[in-house]
Amino acid sequence: MKLYFSPLACSLATRIALYEAGADAEYVEVDTKTKKTEDGADFFAINALGLVPALRMENGEILTENGAILQHVADRFPQAELAPRDPLARSRLHSWLCFIGTELHTSISPLLVKTTHEAVKAHGQAKAESRLSWLATKLEGRSFLLDRFSVADAYLFSVLNWTTVTPIRLERWPSLAEFMKRMHDRPAVARAFAEEKDLYVRELARAS
């Protein structure tokens, strides 16, 4: 498997899942601004939308979209138990992946872009905060979104991490702040995060 990623982008969730699974995978950095991979290849030829993550599966085909990629990794490495197999529990996982992708990812990510108009930022922040208030009640008294760690927690961690560079303060919601601390304490998450943080710092240095 080959993961096309950008440091600390949503593709971090797939790196976490691959580390949790102990998978033997290759990681190719993509500059999402120039749409070039680290070896100079045209990323549009890999994903015509120019978005990470993109996963080259073992049959050579490319899979896109966080929710699909994360479930593919979970299914490919079932021993890691990153997704429930019971159909009802799997639907709950799917529900969380959709919630994170549509309600959180799309409302928080515009806050990260310098050129986003202030009114759009205000709208994104208000929407994110209302979703986070709801999410906080769901995480009260729970360690994970489901009964055990799943790929949805990896995706949630990756998206909530972005709030550190926005005006959104997770400390407002103790269950969310505790969730983030729990995730940082997991070895696979800590390793993935530390590696991508280093790459992110290098990316910033290259851009300046």
Give residues in contact with ligand GSH (CB under 6 A). Answer: 6, 9-10, 32, 50-53, 65-66, 101
Q: CA 162, 105, 99 angle in degrees (round to 5)? A: 130
**Least CB distance from residue 26 to ligand GSH, whole Å?**
18
**Least CB distance from residue 51 to ligand GSH, whole Å?**
4
Q: 39 phi and psi, to 5 degrees?
A: -95, 15
Residue closest to 26 by CA, chosen among 51, 56, 46: 56
Nearer to ligand GSH, 65 or 81 (CB): 65
Contact (CB, 8 A) for 105 and 115:
no
**Least CB distance from residue 178 to ligand GSH, whole Å?**
24
Nearer to ligand GSH, 49 or 142 (CB): 49
Residue closest to 11 by CA, chosen among 60, 62, 67: 67
What is the 3-state composition of the chain as percent helix, strand, coil, each rounded to the nearest 5? 60, 10, 30
**Least CB distance from residue 31 to ligand GSH, whole Å?**
10
- Beta strands across the sheet bearing 54-56: 36-37, 26-31, 2-5, 54-56, 62-64
Nearer to ligand GSH, 141 or 206 (CB): 206
User: Rounded to an integer, what distance in angstroms lies between the CA atom of residue 184 and that of residue 164?
Assistant: 14
**Least CB distance from residue 6 to ligand GSH, whole Å?**
6
Nearer to ligand GSH, 6 or 150 (CB): 6
User: Rounded to an integer, what distance in angstroms lies between the CA atom of residue 34 and that of residue 61?
Assistant: 23
Nearer to ligand GSH, 64 or 175 (CB): 64
Nearer to ligand GSH, 87 or 114 (CB): 114
**Least CB distance from residue 69 to ligand GSH, whole Å?**
7
Q: 95 phi and psi, to 5 degrees?
A: -60, -45
